[in-house]
Structure 1
Amino acid sequence: MEHSSNTLLTIVLLWVLTPFVLGDEVVPRQVLKPYCSHTCGNVSIPYPFGIEDGCYYFVDNNYDYKFVCNDTYTPPRLILGRNLEVLKVSLEGELTINNPVCYDCYHNSSQGQLLKTIFWSWVNLATFTISSTKNVLVAIGCDTNVWFTGFRHGRPYYTGCMTQCANLNDVADGACNGIGCCQIALPEGVSNITTNVSSFSNHRFVPFNPCSSAFPVEIETFKFYQRNLSQDLNYYRSNEIKLPVIFNWKVGRNSCSVAKAHRNYMCTENTDCYDSEYEVGYRCKCKDGYSGNPYLSQGCTDVDECKNNDTNDCEKPEYCFNINGGYNCHCPEGYHGNATMTDRCVSNRKAWFTPVLVTAGIGGGIIALLLTVFLLHWQHGKKEIKKMREKLFRENGGMLLHQKLSGQDDDILKFFTIEDLEKATDNYNNVNIIGRGGFGIVYKGTMPNNQVVAIKKSIKVDPKQAEQFVNEVLVLSKINNRNVVKLLGCCLEDEVPLLVYEFISNGTLYEHLHEAVCASILTWSMRLKIALDVADVLSYLHNTISPQIIHRDMKSMNIMLDESYTAKVTDFGASRLVPLDQGQLATMVLGTWGYLDPEYMQTSDLTEKSDVYSFGVVLVELLTRKKAISNDRSETEKCLAMHFLLKMKEGRLLDILDKNIVNDGTIEQIQQVANLAKGCLMLKGDDRPTMKEVSIELETIKSKGSHPWNNNDAQFEEDCQLLLGGNSGSGAGGCSSGIDSDLYNPHSPLGSGR
């Protein structure tokens, strides 16, 4: 009898424990321990999150779902990981944390010395990713840049923005547009995020702004105010400022289909499973007609819609009958109809007498009246829609664009309707997204004539910024070059402006250079042809078009490649038209770190030589396959332009070249292109060649080889000394470097290192 009891106990224990342990993997099932806490302070804690052991999802030693309730505060605070305060957790897959603001402050010591205090912030969560739709990256300051890093699809991800201002009167409350405040959107799927901020000139020229600050933040909770610029170090230290940031969470490491085949599948009865497009894992959701926690056994229970008249449309409460996952409305005996508010129950008894003619007359009159009301309402609605579209057309710069294009060929630009683009993109279906960035989303679309196009849908901007949008359209309308992505038309009737381009199917030069498989296809001759194509475009913009156009954001990300690897230059949003009587323009500095002309950054005077410098960086990318800015490299090598010039100066060019393109047949051409790149990267614009000279030199190198570019080495030595003495490393051009006094030896083939 005792043996029989032990056997029965063993069977019961195995039956209870089997759902929780499978091999070495802990399989979180749906029954929670009776001692599990469901709240901490004012925050609810739904499973798969929990505090006590056995109360949270735990697999592969992942503790990201384990919380700690810190009751030393009043009310207690819910803590995740390394002291991250959790503000809210939702079963819709969102986790809101309180993230500290990072800052970079400058102040004078009692001895008059300039002191610097830096505070960076990071969220070390590999499982969860920052939400791109609910957050935005912000930097505040008058000589400030923010650098945001993380991991996306297993690879490092970088982005940032910069802001400047010389006078408080230039700054407006609520306007985060690059003057005192800048903000950019973030992509999906970025985890392990770090935010740091720095100042260009230690706030020496903006005494009213002693600190730079930066942070990712929930969009709905942030508004910029002019007074933010005057906050000092004491303010940040004493207030311990934190702002809400929303992260996306999911469970598992596989898609729904793969997870369903294993016993550790988390979605329980009456649930649906959803794959995460940009992240690893999946999410569970109760089916329609059910509510509760989809990760718990019997967590999704039927909603009795008949108990609440707001959740059903039955004519009377007694006509409502609840069923699993929904409800039905039934008429009582002796009546017919659907028993709903729109189709009520009608008695089956017939009237003894029906005055047919009277009824028909009344019915006809009612129908005529209804038709009249409908037609009037329809016409009024059409007028309102037309009025709204005209208003949006004006706000998006339509009148300004018509004015600027007046007198030109009518076919130069097509104006599309909202319906045209909605139909082309299947109502902006996410499946058709082919690009996403800080200025908006790019969709693939198919027009009625089967022409495939790329549709750029900008983020919603201040109507005052419509001039920048019109500028891009105006610039592109003046360009007729086979190596420029062709602008087909635009739509200005929507809340945000849309541009329609020809579709380029082979991605960007940046993607081809920095993806190993794609890079192996780019031979030296293909890279040389791409360089020549881009040089021809810039020469065309600088010399052929009147007025002259300066691109201002030349980089490998803005060079598309078609099926035959022909280069197509794109993104003219930052470009400027230069009047005939001006050789340079005083502008707010725009561009991308690592590509910005250092002379332009210092003086704010934009010239065609600024494009030459940026093109020089692209040449170095083609030679080395290295990124223009990389935190993975040492401080002296962080900036690719300075790293390249240092190697050239030391006679060790071979150390930095992409080994895939170096062979006996390419050495001479590579050295000539490297010398040309060195000339483009001269600190002073006057010492650089023009783009027309660069194009001619590349054509000569490509066709039959040429003598190396005739650089002024003495001037190069002077530039290096100016860079070392005048600019300490931040971004483009002005990166610090330990260049020694030996000049690069042009007679030594590529150098072998020493």
Structure 2
Amino acid sequence: MCLLLFLFQLMMILLSSPINVLVESVLTTAKPGCQTSCGNVTIPFPFGIGSNCYLDPWYAVNCSSDKPFLLSFDLEVLDIWIENGTMLVNHPVLTACNKTSYYDEEEFTHMESVNMENSPFFFSQTKNIFFGLGCSNVASLLYNDSYITGCYSSCQASRATDTIETIGCYGIKCCQTRIPSSLQVFNASVNPINYDKPKETKECEKAILAQESWLTGNHTETAFGILSQAERVPVVLDWGIRNDSSFNWDMNDRHHSDCANISSFMDDSFANDNMSASTMGIQCMCSRGFEGNPYLNPGCQGIASGFFVLLLFIGAWWLHIIIKRRKDIKLKDKYFKRNGGLLLQQQLTSSDGNVDRSKLFNSKELDKATDHFNVNRILGQGGQGTVYKGMLADGKIIAVKKSKAIDEGRIEEFINEVSILSQINHRNVVKLLGCCLETEVPLLVYEFIPNGSLFQYLHDQNEKLPFTWEMRLQIATEVAGALSYLHAAASLPIYHRDIKSANILLDEKYRAKIADFGTSRSITIDQTHVTTKVQGTIGYLDPEYFQSSQFTDKSDVYSFGAVLVELLTGKKPISSSTTQDGCRSLATNFLSMLDNNLFDILDAEVIKGNNEEIMIVANLAKRCLNLNGKGRPPMKEVAMVLEGIQASKKESNVQQDREEIEYVRTEVIEPWDVASTSRSSTFEINAPSLDVQPLLTM
């Protein structure tokens, strides 16, 4: 609490008016209230964007498409440095091109740079280099048509290995030299040494003024390749403040700063005689021990003050983090209560102390596992939410169900699903790993089932993996066993209320797993039905439940019957085709053809199966689809019928194995080796019993 109080006091100091002025002067170099940057370029005073933000129109900057331009010369600004009075601009390359294969003196006109005369800007003598690109040429730099400096480039090297790429710009097809100080405009030309000599190339000769560090900072071959193609290159300008009566600016009024005429920084031997110290202007820098913008008043502040401000900001930042964490904790607690956390705890606690069966995940863990709930991780979407594939920190693959809405009805369904699944422990029911209630919408975490849903396999069949009758019968048996367990063997009877092929998932061994218990209900012993608004899926929905709104265990039986028909026919529960009577459900169509034309509607893979088994399952489906719920068999009986088919298949396989063994014993072994008879008898005694156990055990 003491730390929080201290940080709060620091924040109050930080927000006070004098400190605000100090913070603003340290952190920004622009005029107060003005735009501080354009794109990635900081715009310090005396430069500025917009009226009243610059010292004089010479320093006006336009920010267009996140690129700053110096309006006085329409030059793109790449950077501005207060501490040494320089700026980096994009300057045009001066080019001369011959139209013929021989040099023509008339074609080599003088090329003029950007004219900055009478401005506070100069081409930097120390930071720029003048280049001449071409063969057997003299690159000249002139001022008022008077030669100032230049360089010569030859065509042939003294050694074959001497090229621009190996030795740089030192006389072979490229030359360089320094420029004079105080230069504000210049002419350049590239002239041949011998006009009668044929040109070796038809490339343009170029006179280039460029930033020296830009060239040396690149690989030589790359840099000169850029120079030969570039239309604009970085050039450094020196700048200052014009110290004459036209500017309302006094260098003696600068606190904690040192100012001097620009001429004192230049080499007098190259200085322009036409420029006086007053017209050249002055440059300022903060005194030792101070930082900031010397052109603002006050602009330079003590480093100690800046350090104090830094401490204040660190304190404020920590205070912000602490407050944010406390808000996050309160928000998560709010979500936990709103998402039914207290109700879930109450239900789980009252369910024989099964609270620990469901792990509570934190939001950060699941957010990272699903890559921030990336759309590429979506496994499926339904009426109650979206399911994402995720991977926990330990490498475990999971499925995370995110609810679509947070209204009270949806939250009740969510809590109901958690409560029910926490009580279920069956190999053919999707396992609930945990939940997260501290997010805006509640989350459920399941085991990941890799092979999709039964619906996908029935209606998007893969030729490489035929969905055989044996696989369908196995899945039907497993689903029936799971529903029988839910109805009769769970601690409280559980009605699923939305059995359909899309809610039956298949694991890596194509074993069935019932999923999506959002609309399920636990039923007390004295209850015979649940009265509620009708919920379910058309094609699987019990007609009796639809009319009465009373859901019983026989309603799940009807839905399972629709799944059996789907397995038998390979058709969707509702046909898109229409008849004279309108759209008919698959169940209705199946019942009408069962007695005489059953094999006309069976799936091609099913027809390959055992006809007797098929007829038993078809008649079982008919009983499940009885319009009168009382006429339907309970799921326990349904499971026993299907398990009986499976058991008879195994018994048949065992009998076939015995017959083969007997054949080997009587026809092969006995004529050759009497001793082998005893061995075969021993084998026969250890053969599997005819009393085969059901595949699913409860």
TM-score relative to the length of structure 2: 0.52
Partner of 1:677: 621
Shift of 1:353: 5.6
Counterpart residue number, 2:80: 331
Q: Which residue of 2 aligns with 1:545?
A: 490
- Residue 590 of structure 2 corresponds to 644
Question: Counterpart of 1:436 in structure 2: which amino acid?
Answer: Q
Match of 1:429 in 2: 374
Please state how far the C-alpha of 1:350 moved relative to its aligned partner. 4.1
Indicate if the aligned counterparts of 2:539 and 2:585 stay in contact, CA closer than 8 A: yes
Distance 1:336 1:544, change over 3 A: farther
TM-aligned CA deviation for residue 329 of structure 1:
5.5
CA-to-aligned-CA distance 1:206-255 (integer Å, 9 cap, x gap): xxxxxxxxxxxxxxxxxxxxxxxxxxxxxxxxxxxxxxxxxxxxxxxxxx
Q: Hey, what's the Cα distance between the residues in 1 that align with 2:512 and 2:573?
A: 19
Q: Tell me how far apart the structure 1 counterparts of residues 287 and 311 of structure 2 sit (CA, whole Å).
A: 28
Pair 609,311 (structure 1): closer, same or farther in 2 beyond 3 Å: farther
Q: 1:557: how far off?
A: 0.5
Q: Is the 8 A contact 1:320 1:330 kept in 2?
A: no
Secondary structure in structure 1 of the residue aligned to 2:430? coil
The DSSP-based 3-state class of the residue aligned with 2:80 is coil
User: 2:391 aligned to 441, 446, 466, which one?
Assistant: 446
Q: Is the 8 A contact 1:321 1:330 kept in 2?
A: no
2:503 maps to what in 1?
Answer: 558
Aligned-partner residue type, residue 631 of structure 1: S
Task: Answer whether contact 1:636 1:643 (CA < 8 A) is retained.
Answer: no
The answer to whether the Cα contact below 8 Å between 1:512 and 1:519 also exists between their aligned partners in 2 is: no
* Aligned-partner Cα distance in 1 for 2:88–2:625: 78
| Alignment map for 1:228-239 (pairs within 5 Å) | none
Instruction: Map Cα deviations across residues 104-132 of structure 1 (whole Å, 9 max, x no partner).
Output: xxxxxxxxxxxxxxxxxxxxxxxxxxxxx
Q: How much does 1:336 deviate?
A: 6.5
Q: Where does structure 1 lack aligned partners over 5 or more consecutive residues? A: 1-306, 340-344, 707-754
Q: Assess if the C-alpha contact under 8 Å between 1:458 and 1:497 holds in 2.
A: yes
Change (3 A) 1:332 1:370: closer
> Separation in 2 of the partners of 1:498 and 1:410?
17
Contact 1:319 1:330 survives alignment (8 Å): no
**C-alpha distance in 1, partners of 2:618/2:525?**
33
Deviations 1:244-283 (A, max 9, x none): xxxxxxxxxxxxxxxxxxxxxxxxxxxxxxxxxxxxxxxx
Aligned to 1:583: 528
The 5-angstrom pairing of residues 178-577 of structure 1 reads 312=39, 314-315=42-43, 316-317=48-49, 320=61, 330-331=79-80, 334-335=84-85, 349-351=284-286, 354=289, 359=302, 361-406=304-349, 408-517=353-462, 521-577=466-522
TM-aligned CA distance change 1:592 to 1:332, over 3 Å: same
- Greater C-alpha Rg: 2
Q: Which amino acid aligns with 1:574?
A: T
C-alpha distance in 2 between matches for 1:692 and 1:338: 85
Q: Which residue in 1 is equivalent to 2:54?
A: none
Q: For residues 693 and 352 of structure 1, do their structure 2 counterparts lie closer, same or farther at Cα, with a shift above 3 Å needed?
A: closer
**How big is each residue's C-alpha offset from its partner over 1:594-627, in whole Å with a ceiling of 9 and x where there is no partner?**
1111111111111100000000000000000011
* Residue 632 (structure 2) aligned to one of 665, 688, 695: 688
Q: By how many angstroms is 1:497 displaced?
A: 0.9
C-alpha separation between the residues in 2 aligned to 1:387 and 1:517? 51
- 1:525–1:338 distance in 2 versus 1, CA, 3 Å: farther
Structure-to-structure mapping, 1:99-248, within 5 angstroms: none
Deviation of 1:311 after TM superposition, in Å, equals 7.4
Which of the pair has the greater relative contact order for Cα pairs under 8 Å at 6+ separation?
A: 2
- Give the secondary-structure state (helix, strand or coil) at the position aligned to 1:331: strand
Give the structure 2 partner of residue 736 of structure 1. none
Say which SS state the counterpart of residue 495 (structure 1) adopts.
coil
Q: Which amino acid aligns with 2:336?
A: F
Question: Helix, strand or coil: the match of 1:490?
Answer: strand
CA distance in 2, matches of 1:660, 1:689: 27
Closer, same or farther in 2 for the Cα pair 1:701/1:447, shift >3 Å?
Answer: same
Change (3 A) 1:399 1:335: farther
On the 8 A contact 1:319/1:332 being kept in 2, the answer is no
1:497 and 1:335 mapped to 2: Cα distance?
Answer: 59
For residues 438 and 544 of structure 2, what CA distance do their matches in structure 1 show? 40
The alpha-carbon deviation at position 463 of structure 1 amounts to 3.7
Q: Would the aligned equivalents of 1:319 and 1:329 in 2 still touch at CA under 8 Å?
A: no
Taking a change above 3 Å as real, the CA distance of residues 487 and 519 of structure 1, as seen in their structure-2 partners, is: farther
User: Do the aligned residues in 1 keep the contact of 2:541 with 2:558 (CA within 8 Å)?
Assistant: yes
Q: SS state of the match for residue 521, structure 1?
A: coil
Q: Check conservation: 1:561, 1:567, Cα contact below 8 A.
A: yes
Q: For 2:573, which of 628, 638, 650 is the aligned residue?
A: 628
Amino acid at match of 1:594: G
SS of the residue 2:449 aligns to:
coil
Q: Which amino acid aligns with 1:697?
A: V
Q: Any idea what SS the aligned residue of 1:435 has?
A: strand
Q: Matched residues in 2 for 1:583 and 1:612: separation?
A: 15
| Cα 1:375–1:662 shift into 2, 3 Å | same
Kept in 1: contact 2:576–2:583 (CA 8 A):
no
CA distance change for structure 1 residues 336 and 423 in 2, over 3 Å: closer, same or farther? Answer: farther
Q: Distance in 2 between matches of 1:490 and 1:678?
A: 39
What is the SS of the residue equivalent to 1:516?
Answer: coil
What displacement does 1:554 show? 0.2
The 2-side partners of 1:432 and 1:337 are apart by 49
Q: Distance in 2 between matches of 1:471 and 1:338?
A: 67
Tell me by how many angstroms 1:467 deviates.
1.2
Letter matched to residue 643 of structure 1: N
Does the Cα contact within 8 Å between 1:512 and 1:518 map onto a contact in 2?
no
CA-atom RMSD, angstroms? Answer: 3.1
Farther off after superposition, 400-409 or 471-480: 400-409
Counterparts of 1:338 and 1:452, CA distance in 2: 54
Change (3 A) 1:520 1:675: farther
Residue 704 of structure 1 pairs with residue 648 of structure 2: yes
Pair 1:503–1:355, CA change in 2 (3 A) = closer
Change (3 A) 1:423 1:704: same
Amino acid corresponding to residue 400 of structure 1 in structure 2: L
Instruction: Deviation per CA, 1:488-540: give whole Å up to 9, x if none.
Output: 11111111111111111111101100113269611111100000000001000
**1:460/1:495 contact within 8 Å kept:** no
Distance 1:413 1:378 in 2: 32
- Provide the identity percentage: 44
The aligned residue for residue 167 of structure 1 is: none
The residue matched to 1:485 in structure 2 has which SS? coil
User: Take 1:673 and 1:565, find their aligned partners in 2: how far apart are those partners?
Assistant: 20
Q: Which runs of 5+ in 2 are unaligned?
A: 1-33, 50-58, 69-76, 90-239, 241-256, 259-282, 292-300, 651-698
CA distance in 2, matches of 1:410, 1:370: 45
